[in-house]
Each structure stands twice: as C-alpha cells, then as structure tokens.
Amino acid sequence: MHTMTPAQLLESLRWRYATKKFDATRKIPADTWKALEESLVLTPSSYGLQPWRFVIVTDPAVRERLRAVSWNQAQVTDCSHHVVFAARADMTEADVDRLVTRTVEVRRVPAEAIAGYRKMMIGDVVKGPRHEWIHEWAARQCYIALGQFMETCAVLGIDACPMEGLDPAKYDEILGLPAQGFRTVVACPAGYRAADDGYASLAKVRFAASDVIRHV
C-alpha cells in the first residue's frame, strides 16, 4: 500500500488554510471529487452507525439561497462543491437495524451472530440516557467526518473552509432536511483558492506543541 512520508503529510497540512476566496472558474475534477465523496463514506463513527447525511450542493440557485443565510460569505457560491454536514435528529431501532442488515450483507454473517451488538446499541443510543441528547451525539460524529474530509482535501491539493457561520434552521428549510430526519450541523465549501486570496500567504498561528500536547 502506498503511504505518504511524515514530511509529505505535514507539508500538506501546513499548506491548507481556511480559504476565504475561491476561484469560481475552477471546478474539482470528477475523479478527484469521487475520491473526496468516498472519504466521507469511509469516515469512522461510534458503533459504525453513521448518523449523518452529506448534502453536496452544486446548484447555483440553491447556493445563492444558502449564501444569504451564511452571513453572505462568498465561499458558498464561489467554491466548486459546497458540502453540508447534517446529523440525525433522532435514533430509532430501525436505524440500528439498517446497520445490522448492512453488516449481514457486507460481511455475510447471520444476524444472530451480531444480536448482542444490536442489543447493546439499542440499549445505549435508543433506550439509554444518551438518547436524551442524541442529536448532539450525532453532531459530534459529523465533526469526525468534517476532519477527515478536510485532511483528504489537503492531501489531494484541494482547498476547503470549515464553516459554522450559517443559520442551521434556514439551511434545514432550504434543503428539506427535517422531513428526512436530519438537521444541519456545519458546512464546508471546497475548491481552489483564488490567486489574490491574501489569507493563503499568512503564517499559521498555533500554540507550541508543548502547550497543547502532554505525554503521560
């Protein structure tokens, strides 16, 4: 399996930044975008429940509406692809059973073999105390996906901008998410930085490793 060197990885991560101005004339090639979508699919999640929906917005009219409820940030309309990360509003036994069915299909094991796992998941996220704040739990899973997406973008030389400056309820309304059982958490435009985006040349401001990492 091909792997990057530590130096190559760090070079990619130092190259990335929260892009403020995208080149609206450049689009991400189809094969590259397919890999980015697959990186979202491959994101790990608690129990493997994948309590999310990734909405890829490319329709110019829809993006104009989303920009209006995103503090009028131009990245929404100027990027190549605008990704909305939405989390499940609730978690039911049916949601757990979807994973069980998929596991049986992919791993070719009898459902009885994972009955104990099913019972444990239901006891936690459906009938347990966690269910009282299940959307918040699902939202935290979305941030795992966001992190994986941003890192994959950096490795592939794609610019991105994590974006919480938006009205989640308005996004939900525009994208029709409540009827699907999801609620907006965060968004991330992706594409290519504009040549005149001054933020690209600014030095990263980070605390020293000794301030944020502790070895025990």
Domain at 205, CATH number: 3.40.109.10
1 within domain boundaries? no
Report whether pLDDT(7) > 90: yes
Element (H, E) at 95: helix 93-107
63 within domain boundaries? yes
Please, are residues 140 and 114 in contact by the beta-carbon 8 Å criterion? no
Report whether pLDDT(167) > 80: yes
Tell me the CA distances in angstroms from 96 to 66, 120, 121, 145, one per residue in order. Answer: 32, 10, 7, 19
176 within domain boundaries? yes
Please enumerate in sequence order all residues whose Cβ is within 8 A of that of 61, keeping only pairs 6 or more positions apart, or say none: none
94 within domain boundaries? yes
Cβ count within 10 A of residue 97 = 14
Report whether pLDDT(1) > 90: no
**pLDDT band at 210, cuts 50/70/90?**
very high
23 within domain boundaries? yes
Tell me how far the alpha carbon of residue 79 is from its chain's centroid: 16
Instruction: Give the tens place of pLDDT for each residue, 68-77.
Output: 999 999 999 9
**How much is the pLDDT for 146?**
98
Which domain covers residue 134, as residue numbers?
Answer: 6-212
Q: In the chain, how many domains are there?
A: 1
Specify the pTM. Answer: 0.97
70 within domain boundaries? yes
Tell me how far the alpha carbon of residue 54 is from its chain's centroid: 7
Task: Name the 3-class secondary structure at 107.
Answer: helix
Tell me the CA distances in angstroms from 212 to 11, 14, 15, 52, one per residue in order. Answer: 20, 17, 21, 30
Mean pLDDT over 36-49 rounds to 98
Pairwise CA distance, residues 85 & 52, whole Å: 7
Report whether pLDDT(86) > 90: yes
Pairwise CA distance, residues 204 & 196, whole Å: 18
Query: Among residues of the chain, what percentage have pLDDT more than 90?
Result: 99
Q: Of 123, 69, 72, 75, which is closest to residue 96 (Cα–Cα)?
A: 123
Please, are residues 54 and 40 in contact by the beta-carbon 8 Å criterion? yes
What torsion, rounded to 10 degrees, do the Cα atoms 129, 131, 133, 136 define?
A: 130
Report whether pLDDT(207) > 90: yes
Hunting for tokens 């996906």 — which residue is that? 145
Please, are residues 204 and 171 in contact by the beta-carbon 8 Å criterion? no
Please, are residues 142 and 148 in contact by the beta-carbon 8 Å criterion? no
Amino acid occupying residue 100: V
